[in-house]
Amino acid sequence: ASRRSLHRSVPSWAPPLIPIVVEQTGRGERAYDIYSRLLRERIVCVMGPIDDGLASLVIAQLLFLQSESNKKPIHMYINSPGGAVTSGLAIYDTMQYVLNPVCTWCVGQAASMGSLLLAAGAPGQRHALPNARIMIHQPSGGARGQATDIAIQAEEILQLKRQINGIYAKHTGQPLAVI
For residue 94, what is the domain's CATH number? 3.90.226.10
Q: Domains in the chain: how many in total?
A: 2
**Domain match, 122 and 43 both:** yes
**Domain match, 92 and 110 both:** yes
Per the domain annotation, does 101 fall within a domain? yes
Tell me: the pLDDT tens digits for 38-74?
999 999 999 999 999 999 999 999 999 999 999 999 9
Per the domain annotation, does 108 fall within a domain? yes
- The residue range of the domain holding 114 is 35-137
Query: Model's pTM, two decimal places?
Result: 0.88
Tell me: the pLDDT tens digits for 117-128?
999 999 999 999
Q: Is the pLDDT of residue 7 over 70?
A: no
**What are the residue numbers of the active site?**
112, 137
- Nearest CA-CA partner of 131 in 117, 103, 110: 110
How confident is the model over 73-87, as a mean pLDDT? Answer: 98
